[in-house]
Amino acid sequence: MSRDLLREALRPQAAPETRTLKVMRVTMMALAGFVCLGTGFIGFWVSLFGVGFSGLVGLALIALLVEGFCYFRRKNRADLAFAAGAGGEA
């Protein structure tokens, strides 16, 4: 039994990352960084660019939520297809 468990632990559990998934992940990280810096230094940015910058940070937050939802849904589909033996992105 322990040998089967070891074999299962050594098997890859996630699908290899495709180019589309990598672009989505990097976009999501860039949006998250912009939202963090935008909210962390909101006083500085508003004094520099005006009140409209607050709206830009809000739009980036909404884009981050949508991008994150799409990324994790697509990544989950790819992982399930990989685990089922399809070997590609679903």
Q: What is the pLDDT of residues 52-84, one digit of tens each?
A: 999 999 999 999 999 999 999 999 998 888 888
pTM above 0.85, yes or no: no
Residues with Cβ within 8 Å of residue 82, at least 6 apart in sequence: 12, 14, 15, 16, 88
Residue 15: count of CB within 10 angstroms of its CB: 21
Encode pLDDT of 28-48 as tens digits: 999 999 999 999 999 999 999
Contacts of 20 (CB under 8 A, 6+ apart): 74, 89
